[in-house]
Amino acid sequence: MTSDIKAILEQVVISPDVPIAEAIAQLDRAGTGSLVVCSADKKLYGLLTDGDVRRALLKAVDMGAPCGDIANRKPVITFVPLLPIEALRLMNHHDINHLPVLDAEGRVVDFLLRRDLVAEDELAARARRRLDSVVIPCSASIAEAIAQLDRAGTGALVLCSEGDRLHGLLTDGDIRRAVLRGISLDAPCQDVASRRPVTVEPSFSAAQALHLMNQHDINHLPVVDDTGRVVDFLLRRDLIADDQLNLSAVVMAGGYGKRLLPLTEQVPKPMLPVGDRPLLERTIDQLRRSGIREVNLTTHYLPDSIVEHFGDGDSFGVKLNYLKEDHPLGTAGGLKLMKKASDPFLVMNGDILTGVPFQEMFAYHRKNGAEITVGVRKYEVQVPFGVVECDDVRITGLKEKPSLTFFINAGIYLLEPSVCDLIPEGERFDMTDLIQKLLDEGRSVVSFPIMEYWLDVGRHEDYQKAQEDVRSGKIQ
């Protein structure tokens, strides 16, 4: 056993008798997302992950209880000798991030992390970004930054002064918060940027950079030399072997689509063709491209056409589960038909076309400690008359045909598993009912402003616009 492996095992090995509270502290120190639970003779007892601990917290398990009580007693394992590529294939096959390695006697002799198994040359090729795509001058407006963010697809831009000197970091979240505060999009982007972002020196290895990102819960890391000049820009998604989200999705696909009659007489609305393929196929493809691999479809109206087209989802790159509603259960009631989730999950209406970055939304949800994150869209209404402002009988002001701005519910949500306990069994229950219940209880409901493409295909004119947007390339 090399000294490096020995050092790793010292960080991640824990006895099954150690209290859960101490295991949490060790997980935090190790930064690996899991611990190997071993008996005194180094024989494998189980694997304890962050998820196991979170579930224990949700179940109100005593933090003084032995960590072995909540560990997975039958984790995926492998044996020496083993090539790194074989270990990576095994992890990808089982969708796991941690792999204990045993000898012939069942003793733990190594512990592999998926993020460490990427070849260094591939890691470097994927991690580096051309700086001209992410660097923006401090004087640029927020509107210009939004356009550049959309082109770059990185979720953040580096603000630089003359000579590529670091001035700040502007993230997707910074802009969304600015939009919510009503800040003008003509304002300089430096006004809403972080002026003191976390940075690394060029000498940092990829593993060190990833550890720093995990430690600070950030997704973007400027690399700055000793003169303050930005020389690289790292993304967390490029520093791991696989960018799949640990996130499943529910798509509400059971509606009648009455406003689209007669188009929906024989075809459920989600199966209406948009361009050369059904609307729902476009949605599932976007989820797959975002790294989501398990999708639940709620069905009611003409469900057979959906099942016949998609099957188990394998040919579309996802695992599909069907949640059949015997009677309409609303936009939240169908969630009770789903297998109880242990991690946050995405919910979206089946008649939406959008370019929402689900990875960014998930990071935003987690960062804000939300129980539900609601995608919202800015919507302007032009009043066709002069508006009179009154205080009792006195007129206090006049506005000629004003434009009023609201945030509307965009039909896209991220939910923590615990909120499903508020949904009644077998009854019609809408997402608005669930949100109101949470608000009444003073729980955390957060808005996620959507600036990307979004279209609710609910009316004939919306359906026509969807076809036009496909032809013009606005929709992939």
**309 and 435 together in one domain:** yes
Asked whether residue 46 is assigned to any structural domain, the reply reads yes
Asked whether residue 106 is assigned to any structural domain, the reply reads yes
Per residue in 406-440, pLDDT tens? 889 999 999 999 999 999 999 999 999 999 999 99
Q: Is the pLDDT of residue 350 over 50?
A: yes
What is d(CA 286, CA 356) in angstroms, rounded to the nearest whole number? 9
Per DSSP, the three-state class of 250 is strand
**290 and 306 together in one domain:** yes
Asked whether residue 243 is assigned to any structural domain, the reply reads no
Radius of gyration of the chain measured on its C-alpha atoms: 25
Please identify, among 114, 138, 173, the residue that sits at the C-terminal boundary of a domain.
114
Which long-range contacts (C-beta less than 8 Å, at least 24 apart) are formed by 81-84? Answer: 84/117
Give the pLDDT mean for 302-308.
Answer: 93
pLDDT of residue 240: 57
**Residue 390 β-bridge partners:** 395
Give the pLDDT mean for 355-384.
Answer: 87
The answer to whether the CB of 243 falls within 8 A of the CB of 141 is no
**307 and 416 together in one domain:** yes
**148 and 188 together in one domain:** yes
pLDDT of residue 118: 56
User: Helix H segments across 13-153?
Assistant: 20-30, 50-58, 84-94, 120-127, 131-134, 142-152
Amino acid at 137: P
pLDDT of residue 70: 94
Give the pLDDT mean for 202-226.
Answer: 81
Q: Residue 157's domain is classified under what CATH number?
A: 3.10.580.10
Beta strands, E only, 392-444:
394-400, 403-415
Please identify, among 114, 147, 165, the residue that sits at the C-terminal boundary of a domain.
114
Number of domains in the chain: 3
**33 and 129 together in one domain:** no
**258 and 194 together in one domain:** no
**87 and 223 together in one domain:** no
**104 and 167 together in one domain:** no
Per residue in 125-142, pLDDT tens? 544 546 788 999 999 999
Per residue in 270-303, pLDDT tens? 999 999 899 999 999 889 888 888 999 999 999 9
Host domain of residue 103: 3-114
Per DSSP, the three-state class of 417 is helix
Please identify, among 238, 261, 280, the residue that sits at the C-terminal boundary of a domain.
238
Asked whether residue 359 is assigned to any structural domain, the reply reads yes
**440 and 299 together in one domain:** yes
Per residue in 227-268, pLDDT tens? 888 988 888 776 654 445 668 999 999 988 899 999 999 999
pLDDT of residue 244: 54
Portion of the chain with pLDDT greater than 70, in percent? 93
Q: Residue 292's domain is classified under what CATH number?
A: 3.90.550.10
Q: Is the pLDDT of residue 193 over 50?
A: yes
pLDDT of residue 236: 78
Mean pLDDT of the chain: 87
More confident residue, 60 or 388: 388
pLDDT band with cut points at 50, 70 and 90 for residue 2: low
